[in-house]
Amino acid sequence: MERLWIGLVNNSVCMLVVLPMIGAVLVQAMRPFGWETVRRTALTNVVLSLFLLIVMVANFDVGNRTNQSAMQQQPHAQLRTNLRWTGGRAGSGAPNIQFAVGVDGISLWPIAAIVLLAFAAVTATYGQDGKQIANNYSAILLLQAALIGVVAALDVILFCVFLEFSVWPLAVLMGRRGDANTLTTVRRMCVSHSISSLLVMAGLVLMVLAYSWMRTTEANPNPPLVFSISELTAGISAWLADDRAAQTWNQVRVWVCFLVAAGLTIRSLAVPFHGWFLNNQDRSSIAVCILSPAVALPIAVYGIVRFVLPMFPEIAMPLAHPISIMLLASVVFLALLAVSSRGLGRLTNHACLLHSALCLLAVTSLSTLGVTGALIHSSSILLSAAAVFLLADRFPRIAAWRHFLLLLAVGAVLGIPGSSGFAGQLMILVGIFETDPMIALWTCFALLLLLWVFAVALLSGQSTDVPDPPADVNEGRGASLRTLAAVFPLLFVIGWLGLQPQFLMSRMNQSVAYVMRRYPATSDASADSDSQRPRRLSQQRRYRRGAVNFQ
């Protein structure tokens, strides 16, 4: 029994990826046994995923490192599973591509948020019947597996496969209504995400080839291709000490950075790539409203922190300031756009877009605190928005308890103290303020404007534009219990992380410190005395404006 439990713990991340896939097949297999069996199968699957999530988080080793040199070492992925996909044998000649998944401080919170969103989506639609319910549940479970696979993948090819696949289950969910406008939106989304995935794949494959070229010597003219993400990020940095390898990398690094960053930017719902999202949310089911932001925001932030920041500091430093200006313009524009919106549903959509740009702005601050805040907030805002969608149905004609929970959810979106939104936004604003106080002040203006718009909507009792549930959903006490069951885990986690943000930060610090190790303005921040801090911040701003050459 003990060996079985150890095996479950060590493979919990792999099971979080594989279990929803198995569940999607079982849901289809249960169709002949009735809709109640289909619903129970889907619900059992997401409940088991919640259990595996608790196991994963409970067995994640914080491993506090207080030594500065130790903080510069690459943290190893935990609870990893390696299965040979192709190659791997000496002399086989095939690329060594593996089904390798694991978790570190950067991927821990996105995985948790995805599992919670899938549970909320299945629970909220539990009362549905009809021919499409099995397909909908299968699509939700496959989407959960794909999104977890993206952030848990330790192999470049596996990452690209999950990244491309993640859009198709969402397309099935979105397109089930079948009207012309919805199908047009689905096509726009699929084209946008496919272009994004292809750009990222091209950039990562070029990075794999470049690493092979860097290691080419007379004694080893054909070094094997390396697809492990950790080996690539650590190996390229190590080989830059060799002049010939550094020259080879310098010839391709701009193209690699451009392809990966461009693909992830398209994915992030940044202006002007946000149109399909607003059109989709206006006409989609509650499950789509809950899950569609998860396809974009946390994946984009994760990809930038995983690949762009640690690999391309020479490019990121001089470009950070102009990109920050553009992202600030997007934040202010989206805040002004929200003023003309009506209904809590559409306001929440605009809030998701604004916070998407806000997280990218925090990443471009190139501060450790800003990057940590972006990683936390990019997933926290999804839980808060999902809670609003679940509770805002037919507002203001809702029960008192539901009204109270709705106010808590809206407050979490806006970042009231005691919510995870407050913790994430505070870290983001402090991180931005460290590097550019003026940008931080304009960001505060946009957030205050969004707060005012939500306050007007709540006080005036505007009806929501969140889609009504289908006619075949049972109303009454059962519907209220389903809503409460779906929203309670979201609000619990939002409150817990708002009161105990250190729970996440302690698990992320090592990974974020390693990502930022090549940024001189931030790598020694923890060792600064009070007298050295103003000098460091001044140097950091000069780096961002390109006034100092990067060494």
pLDDT at site 41? 93
Q: Which residue has the higher pLDDT, 126 or 94?
A: 126
**27 Cβ contact partners less than 8 Å away, ≥ 6 residues apart:** 38, 41, 42, 45, 134, 137, 138, 141
Distances (CA, A) of 530 to 444, 535, 536, 537, 542: 26, 10, 10, 11, 20
Tokens representing residue 32 in the block: 């002949």
Range in 8-22, 85-99, 372-386 the model is least confident about: 85-99
- Look at residue 440 in the predicted model and tell me its pLDDT: 92
Q: Using CA atoms, how far apart are residues 366 and 352, in angstroms rounded to an integer?
A: 22
Q: Please, which pLDDT band fits residue 550 given cuts at 50, 70 and 90?
A: very low
* Tokens read off for 457: 């909507």
Tokens at residue 242, please? 């060799």
Percent of the chain predicted with pLDDT > 90: 35
The Cα-based distances of 386 to 60, 391, 459 in angstroms read 26, 9, 21
For the ranges 123-132, 258-267, 373-382, 408-417, which has the lowest average pLDDT?
A: 123-132
pLDDT, tens digit (0-9, with 9 covering 90-100), for 447-488: 999 999 888 887 776 545 554 444 334 444 556 677 788 889
Q: Beta-carbon neighbour count of residue 314 at 10 Å? A: 15
Find out whether the peptide bond into 272 is cis, omega within 30 degrees of 0: yes
- Confidence band (pLDDT; 50, 70, 90) for 129? low
pLDDT at 533: 47
**pLDDT at residue 360, rounded to an integer:** 92
- Between these two residues, 429 and 74, which has the higher pLDDT value? 429
User: What residues form DSSP beta bridges with 408?
Assistant: none
| Closest to 378 measured CA to CA, from 455, 307, 305, 275 | 305
Q: Which of 171-175, 308-312, 467-471 has the highest mean pLDDT?
A: 308-312
Given pLDDT bands bounded at 50, 70 and 90, which one contains residue 205? very high
State how far the Cα of 356 lies from the Cα of 508, in Å rounded to an integer.
20
Range with the lowest mean pLDDT among 137-151, 368-382, 524-538? 524-538
192/178 Cα distance (integer angstroms): 20
Give the predicted TM-score (pTM) of the model: 0.88
How many angstroms separate the CA atoms of 373 and 304, rounded?
A: 14
Instruction: Pick 96 or 114 by higher pLDDT.
Output: 114
**pLDDT score, position 209:** 92
Closest CA to 203 of 264, 148, 149: 264
Cα torsion 303, 304, 306, 307 to 10°: value is 100
Cis peptide before 310 (omega within 30 of 0): no
Rounded Cα–Cα distance for residues 32 and 147 (Å): 29
For residue range 51-97, list pLDDT tens digits in order.
Answer: 999 999 999 988 755 444 545 567 788 889 888 877 656 555 567 78
Which one is predicted more confidently, 224 or 272?
224
In sequence order, the β-bridge partners of residue 101 are 81, 153
pLDDT reported for residue 458? 78
Q: Is the predicted pLDDT of residue 433 greater than 50, yes or no?
A: yes
Longest dimension (CA), the chain: 76
| Strands 78-86 and 97-103, bridge-based pairing | antiparallel
What's the pLDDT score for residue 154? 93
| Rounded CA separation 202/195 (Å) | 11
Contact between 387 and 411 (Cβ < 8 Å): no
- Which segment of 220-224, 300-304, 328-332, 535-539 scores lowest on mean pLDDT? 535-539
- pLDDT surpassing 50 at residue 328: yes
- Mean pLDDT along residues 317-329: 90
> What tokens does 260 get?
């990966």
Give 403 or 73, the one with higher predicted confidence: 403
Evaluate if residue 530 carries a pLDDT over 60.
no
Task: Return the residue matching tokens 């979106």.
Answer: 413
**Residue 382 confidence class, pLDDT cut points 50, 70, 90:** very high
b/e for 146-185, b at 16 or more Cβ within 10 A? bbbbbbbbbbbbbbbbbbbbbbebbbbbbbbbeeeebeeb
Pairwise CA distance, residues 149 & 295, whole Å:
12
Domain ranges of the chain: 2-60+72-544
Rounded to an integer, the average pLDDT of 331-352 is 84
Give the percent of the chain with pLDDT over 70. 82
Q: Across all residues in the chain, what is the average pLDDT? A: 82
Split at pLDDT 50, 70, 90, the class of 399 is: low
Q: Of 83, 101, 81, 89, which is closest to residue 224 (Cα–Cα)? A: 89
* Mean pLDDT on 424-438: 91
Is 70 exceeded by the pLDDT of residue 539? no
Q: Give Cα separations from 336 to 87, 342, 358, 450 (angstroms).
A: 54, 13, 15, 8
Tokens 């885990």 found at: 489
pLDDT value for 454: 86
Geometric angle at alpha carbon 376, from 375 and 381, rounded to 5°: 110
Q: Residue 29 — pLDDT band, cuts 50, 70, 90? A: very high
Residue 199 confidence (pLDDT) above 60: yes
The angle that helices 180-214 and 167-174 make with each other, rounded to 10 degrees, is 180
Pick the closest to residue 348 from 391, 402, 295, 302 (CA basis): 391
- How many other CB atoms are found less than 10 A from the CB of residue 501? 20
Of the candidate ranges 358-367, 477-486, 491-500, 503-512, the one whose mean pLDDT is the lowest: 477-486
531 contacts: CB under 8 Å, gap ≥ 6: none
540 alpha-carbon distance from chain centroid? 27
Average pLDDT in the 366-370 region? 90
Cα distance between residue 358 and residue 328, in whole Å: 8
Residue 116's pLDDT band, with cuts at 50, 70 and 90, is very high
Q: What is the pLDDT of residue 362?
A: 93
Task: Please give the pLDDT value at position 87.
Answer: 65
